[in-house]
Amino acid sequence: MDYLDKTQKLEQMLRLIKEQNTGTAAQLAEKLCVSRPTIENYLHLLRTAGHNISYCTKRKTYYIFDRKP
């Protein structure tokens, strides 16, 4: 995978998270054509970049949440 492919996948992943349309980590990995460990790595990268990402077990999707000061 080259840098642009990774960047595009991170952007697509963030879009799906914002839409709350990711499914489980395994489903998200399938949507992005990457492995589940890669999804965990991407989540870490996005969180390190300042995105507040959590997972809802009831709706089975990742989402962005607002942190209250």
pLDDT beyond 80 at 68: no
Residue 37: alpha-carbon gap to chain centroid = 12
Q: Which class would CATH give 19-69?
A: mainly alpha
0.85 surpassed by pTM: yes
Q: 32 and 13 in contact (C-beta within 8 Å)?
A: yes
Q: Where are the domains of the chain?
A: 19-69
pLDDT digits (tens, 9 = 90+) for 7-40: 999 999 999 999 999 999 999 999 999 999 999 9
CA gap 59, 69 in Å, rounded: 26
Residue 61: strand pairing partners: 56
CA gap 33, 45 in Å, rounded: 18
Q: What is the mean pLDDT of the chain?
A: 93
Amino acid at 4: L
